[in-house]
Structure 1
Amino acid sequence: MSLKKILESDESIEKKEQQIDAYYQSELITRVEACDLLDVSTKSLDRYIKQNKLPAFINKNRNILLKKTEVLAIKPEVDKMKEIFNK
């Protein structure tokens, strides 16, 4: 379920909070996990976020999280850039 659907549902606030927490756990990953998936440094990852190539979310604990599907979608571009600059 998407965040939009969760927020628009007729569920109670408590139920919505549970659904949002479950969404975070299933769909969002930490910066370190994203760096591992892309095989880049946190500095490089922060640059992609700053360039709006990867939208970041901040949870209630002020942690930066990213959608795993979006991280995987940018992987071919990252791999191509690594090829260009590692020659």
Structure 2
Amino acid sequence: MSIKKILESTKSINDKEREIEAYYQSELITRSEASQLLDVTPQSLDRYLKQNKLVPFINKNRNILLKKTDVLAFKPEVDLMKKTFNK
């Protein structure tokens, strides 16, 4: 379920808060976790963020998080770049 659907639901505020927290726990990952998934350095990940190849999500503690599905969808492009430049 997406955040938009959670917010548009007719559930109570407390239920919505729990669902949003569960969404964060299941869908959002840290920069470090994203770097590991992509098998790149944190500096490379920062470059991808600056190039808008990945869209960051900043939580209330001002931590940068990324959607795991976005990172996994970007992985083939990263693998292709690695293959091209590591010849």
Q: Please report the TM-score for the alignment, with normalisation by the length of structure 1.
A: 0.92
**In the TM superposition, what whole-angstrom CA distance separates every residue of 1:1-26 from its partner, at most 9, and x where no partner exists?**
11110111122323222211110000
Question: Which stretch shifts more, 54-63 or 6-15?
Answer: 6-15
- Counterpart position of 2:82: 82
Q: Distance in 2 between matches of 1:41 and 1:11?
A: 41
Equivalent-residue separation in structure 1 for 2:7 and 2:57 (angstroms): 16
The match for 1:58 is 58
Confirm whether residue 27 of structure 1 aligns to residue 27 of structure 2: yes
The offset of 1:67, in angstroms, is 0.8
- % identical aligned pairs: 75
TM-score by length of 2: 0.92
Which consecutive unaligned segments of at least 5 residues does structure 2 have?
none
SS in 2 for 1:61: coil
Counterpart residue type for residue 41 of structure 1: T
Is 1:46 paired with 2:32? no
CA-CA distance at 1:49 after TM superposition: 1.3
Provide the rounded CA distance (Å) in 2 between the counterparts of 1:35 and 1:23: 21
Query: What 5-or-longer segments of structure 1 have no aligned partner?
Result: none
The count of corresponding residues between Structure 1 and Structure 2 is 87
Q: Distance in 2 between matches of 1:61 and 1:20?
A: 16
